[in-house]
Structure 1
Amino acid sequence: MNVHIRFLGAAGTVTGSKYLVEHAGHSVLVDCGLFQGYKQLRLRNRDPLPVMPNHINAVVLTHAHLDHSGYLPLLVKEGFHGKVWATPATRDLAKILLPDSGHIQEEDAAFANRHGFSKHALALPLYTEDDARESLKLFKTVPLGHSFEPVSGWKAQLFGAGHILGAASLLLEVGGRRILFSGDLGRPDDMLMKPPEMPPAADVVVIESTYGDREHPEEDVLAELGPALQRVAARGGTAVIPVFAVGRAQELLHAIALLKANGALPHSLPVYLDSPMAIHSTGLFAQHVGEHRLSAAQCEAMERVAKMTRSVDESKAIALQHGPKVVLSASGMATGGRVLHHLAQYLGHHRNMVVLAGYQAPGTRGATLAAVASQAGGTRGAPAPHSHLRIHGRDVPVRAEVVQLGSASAHADASQLIDWLRTLPTPPRRVFVTHGDLEASDRLRHRIETELRWQALVPEHGSTWGV
Structure 2
Amino acid sequence: MKIKFIGGSGIVTGSKTLIESNGVRLLIDCGLFQGLKALRELNWQPLPVLPSSINYVLLTHGHLDHCGWLPRLIAQGFKGKIYCTNPTKSVAELVLLDSAKIQEEEAYYANKKHYSKHEKAEPLYTVEQAKAVFPFFKIVQQKTPVILDNDIEAVFSTSGHIIGACSITLNIEGKTLVFSGDIGRDNDVLMFPPTKPVLGDYLFLESTYGNRLHPDLDVKKKLENYINTTIQQRGTVIIPGFAVERAQSIMYLLWQLKTERRIPDVPYILDTPMGANVLNVFLENSQWHKLSITDCHEICKMFRIISEFEDTMRIIEDPQPKVIIAASGMITGGRVLSYFEHYIGLKKTTVIIVGYQAEGTRGRKLIEGAQEIKIYGNYYDVKAKIVQIEGLSAHGDQQDLLNWLSILKNAPKCIYLVHGENQAADELRFKIQERYGYKCSVPLLGTKIEI
**Normalising TM by the smaller chain, what interval?**
over 0.9
Summarize the alignment of residues 313-352 of structure 1 with structure 2, pairs less than 5 Å apart.
313-352=310-349
| Residue 436 (str. 1) matches residue 420 (str. 2) | yes
- SS of 1:461's partner is coil
Q: Structure 1, residues 272-325: CA drift from partner, whole Å, max 9, x if none? A: 111111110122111111210111111112212210110111111111222210
| Residue 155 (str. 1) matches residue 153 (str. 2) | yes
2: distance between equivalents of 1:389 and 1:82? 42
Match of residue 254, structure 1, among 252, 255, 260: 252
Summarize the alignment of residues 17-36 of structure 1 with structure 2, pairs less than 5 Å apart.
17-36=15-34
Summarize the alignment of residues 136-215 of structure 1 with structure 2, pairs less than 5 Å apart.
136-215=134-213
Whether the 8 Å CA contact 2:209–2:396 is kept in 1: the answer is yes
Aligned partner of 1:107 in structure 2 is: 105
| Residue 235 (str. 1) matches residue 233 (str. 2) | yes
The one-letter code matched in structure 2 to 1:436 is G
Deviation at 1:198, TM superposition (A): 2.0
Whether the 8 Å CA contact 2:196–2:406 is kept in 1: the answer is no
1: distance between equivalents of 2:10 and 2:442? 7
Q: TM-score, normalised by structure 1?
A: 0.95
- SS of 2:323's partner is strand
Aligned partner of 2:397 in structure 1 is: 413
Q: Structure 1, residues 170-199: CA drift from partner, whole Å, max 9, x if none? A: 000111111000000000110010000121
Deviation at 1:349, TM superposition (A): 0.8
Give the share of equivalent positions with the same residue, in percent: 40
Whether the 8 Å CA contact 1:224–1:407 is kept in 2: the answer is no
Aligned partner of 1:94 in structure 2 is: 92
Q: CA RMSD in A?
A: 1.0
Summarize the alignment of residues 68-79 of structure 1 with structure 2, pairs less than 5 Å apart.
68-79=66-77
- SS of 1:81's partner is coil
2: distance between equivalents of 1:45 and 1:22? 22
The one-letter code matched in structure 1 to 2:380 is V
- SS of 1:137's partner is helix
Whether the 8 Å CA contact 1:57–1:151 is kept in 2: the answer is no
Aligned partner of 2:408 in structure 1 is: 424
The one-letter code matched in structure 2 to 1:67 is D
Whether the 8 Å CA contact 1:207–1:434 is kept in 2: the answer is yes
Whether the 8 Å CA contact 1:254–1:301 is kept in 2: the answer is no
Aligned partner of 1:377 in structure 2 is: none
**Greater Cα shift, 318-327 or 136-145:** 318-327
- SS of 2:368's partner is helix
Q: Give ranges in structure 1 of 5+ residues lacking alignment.
A: 373-383
2: distance between equivalents of 1:36 and 1:220? 31
Match of residue 300, structure 2, among 299, 303, 320: 303
1: distance between equivalents of 2:333 and 2:205? 28
Summarize the alignment of residues 216-227 of structure 1 with structure 2, pairs less than 5 Å apart.
216-227=214-225
| Residue 403 (str. 1) matches residue 387 (str. 2) | yes
2: distance between equivalents of 1:215 and 1:27? 37
| Residue 263 (str. 1) matches residue 247 (str. 2) | no
- SS of 1:459's partner is coil
1: distance between equivalents of 2:148 and 2:198? 19
Aligned partner of 2:278 in structure 1 is: 281
Match of residue 52, structure 1, among 50, 53, 59: 50
2: distance between equivalents of 1:408 and 1:165? 15
Q: Structure 1, residues 420-454: CA drift from partner, whole Å, max 9, x if none? A: 11222222110000001111011111111222111
Aligned residues: 451
Deviation at 1:342, TM superposition (A): 0.6
1: distance between equivalents of 2:149 and 2:102? 34
Match of residue 367, structure 1, among 358, 364, 368: 364
The one-letter code matched in structure 2 to 1:28 is L
Q: Structure 1, residues 313-349: CA drift from partner, whole Å, max 9, x if none? A: 1111111222210111110000011111111110101
Aligned partner of 1:381 in structure 2 is: none
Deviation at 1:6, TM superposition (A): 0.6
Q: Structure 1, residues 97-139: CA drift from partner, whole Å, max 9, x if none? A: 1111111110111011111111111111100111010011100
Q: Give ranges in structure 2 of 5+ residues lacking alignment.
A: none
Q: Structure 1, residues 349-400: CA drift from partner, whole Å, max 9, x if none? A: 100111101100010000011112xxxxxxxxxxx7xx10111111100001
| Residue 292 (str. 1) matches residue 289 (str. 2) | yes
Q: Structure 1, residues 223-274: CA drift from partner, whole Å, max 9, x if none? A: 22111111111111111111111011000000110010011112x2111111
Whether the 8 Å CA contact 1:59–1:85 is kept in 2: the answer is yes
The one-letter code matched in structure 2 to 1:13 is I
Deviation at 1:407, TM superposition (A): 0.5
